[in-house]
Amino acid sequence: MKMDFHAKENEDSYTGRAADATWASTMLSVVDPRDKRVVDIGCGGGIYSKAWAKLGAASVTGVDFSSVMLAAAQKQCADEPRISFVQGDALENGLPDGCADIVFARALIHHLHDLRGFFSEVKRLLAPGGICLIQDRTIDDCAVPASQTHLRGYFFEQFPRLLEVEAKRRPADRTVRAAMQQAGLAKIERLSLWEVRRVYGTLDELARDLRSRKGRSLLHELTDAELEQLVDAICLKLSGHETISEQDRWTIWIGK
């Protein structure tokens, strides 16, 4: 079944790690966040809200529709006074017009049915000269063949129906671009990012992470028995590797 973002047992699903340097260097190649106001829509557990603060943002406002996710985010970011959180919908969050120099959303838009409405809200939030960075996966990003680094590919080898789930929810590049244009965003660009998700020191560490389904809403589509089957298959494929650097390919859409 689908992941319930409001369930207490999923509170820590998007905490417990930091954004990797591969992500940070890509963001810095696009925008200088120093002394800028950032709004992080769909902030989950606050991993990337904290990352923007570390990059020098003057303030970061994390927005999420789940009070459970926000409670986890507040704990994760308790040591960073520049970060605040607001409960709100991706299409309507109550923040004032023009309050952001940077609007960021990671792994959000594949959950949305109204992309035009979302980008209209993004445009409303942006101050003159502002920029949005929307990070998500297309179906092409998901369908990259499995490898020692692209572990997600093993999900689809083992359970092809998961790729069908992804195909139904992953937005096409042309769809995202059209929604951005219709909302009035300009100078639209697209770039690709291979982001290091996590480095595992042992297969046992990887197996525990997979079993927890942490940060992987797709794995909520599997039963416990199917998940155990997947873990066994991946560990067999990776047997003999001392460390595993897991990476995912993302698309980033940029609009001004």
**Residue 242: band (very low, low, confident or very high) from pLDDT cuts 50, 70, 90:** confident
This prediction has a pTM of 0.93
Per residue, what are the HEC states of 152-211?
A: HHHHHHHCCHHHHHHHHHCCCHHHHHHHHHHCCCCCCEEEEEEEEEEEECCHHHHHHHHH
pLDDT for res 4: 65
Q: Which has the closest alpha carbon to 124: 95, 104, 155, 160?
A: 95
Q: State percent of the chain over pLDDT 70.
A: 97
Residue 126, SS3 per DSSP: strand
SS3 79: coil
Measuring CA to CA, how many Å separate 56 from each of 46, 76, 100? 16, 18, 15
What sections of the chain are H helices per DSSP?
A: 21-30, 47-54, 67-76, 115-125, 139-142, 152-158, 161-169, 173-182, 203-212, 224-237
Mean pLDDT calculated for residue range 22-44: 97
241: confidence class by pLDDT, cuts 50, 70, 90: confident
71-107 confidence digits (pLDDT tens): 999 999 999 999 999 999 999 999 999 999 999 999 9
- The answer on pLDDT for 13 being more than 70 is no
Better-predicted residue by pLDDT, 114 or 5: 114
pLDDT confidence bin for 17, thresholds 50/70/90: confident
Residue 109 has pLDDT above 70, yes or no: yes
Span 197-206, average pLDDT: 94
Question: For residues 254 and 45, what is the distance between their CA atoms, to the nearest angstrom?
Answer: 23
